[in-house]
Amino acid sequence: ETGVTQTPRHLVMGMTNKKSLKCEQHLGHNAMYWYKQSAKKPLELMFVYNFKEQTENNSVPSRFSPECPNSSHLFLHLHTLQPEDSALYLCASSQAMDTGNTEAFFGQGTRLTVV
Amino acid sequence: GQNIDQPTEMTATEGAIVQINCTYQTSGFNGLFWYQQHAGEAPTFLSYNVLDGLEEKGRFSSFLSRSKGYSYLLLKELQMKDSASYLCAASRGANNLFFGTGTRLTVIP
């Protein structure tokens, strides 16, 4: 148990479906992240939220839509995805400071398959 | 932009020592993280280097040279459970963490 919980753990969705991934952290951190992990590729940073405000969007397609209602919860809304979007989606949190961030704690991830 | 390079795969023998290298290029560099990730599990934090030099933590040590853009993770007295992917990540700015592809380490008897 890392203090970061993601649901669901596995998700299969069609290209016309709309679904949401949920992440919750119980560590009192002020920064939350979405990462995408595909086979044989680096962990790709998608979005960063700092005190509920989005501070980074790494050129992610609009079919991925993040939402951060408070510092403890983070969502990733999915719609009209493509098969190449199939991957492990990891949520993380950390305590961000002016001098740099502390270590990030990761959730177990959601294994997404787009059919 | 940023770039992080580390070997894709390594194999080592149980009880031995292995060094996993990482080179990085990024603006606004703050520090260098190492994470361990077992198959099907979340990455877990191993070490964080901000200053040049060696940080030792039990069987694991991590080294950083900021001037050379270079780091390594040293694993001593290897155990079978150390078989995992080891991710090098550069911290940039206030809260951006960029990862390499990871090095898959296989420990053999």
Does B69 touch chain A if contact means CB atoms closer than 8 Å? no
Question: B36-94: per-residue pLDDT in tens?
Answer: 999 888 899 999 999 999 999 899 999 999 999 999 999 999 999 999 999 999 987 65
Chain B residues with CB-CB distance to A59 below 8 A: none
- Residues in chain A closer than 8 A to B44 (CB atoms): 2, 106
Write out the two tokens for A105.
């704690």
Residues in chain A with CB shorter than 8 Å from the CB of B87 are 43
Residue with structure tokens 């177990």?
A: A108
What six digits make up the tokens of B4?
Answer: 């992080």
Render pLDDT for A28-85 as a digit per residue (tens, 0 to 9): 998 899 999 998 788 888 998 887 777 777 789 999 999 999 989 999 999 999 999 9
- Residue A71: how many CB atoms within 10 A of its CB? 17
Contact A36, A46 (CB under 8 A): yes
In this structure, the number of other CB atoms found within 10 A of the CB of residue A14 comes to 10
Separation of alpha carbons A107 and A3, rounded Å = 8
Name the region of A102 (left: φ>0; alpha: ψ -120 to 50; beta: rest).
Answer: beta
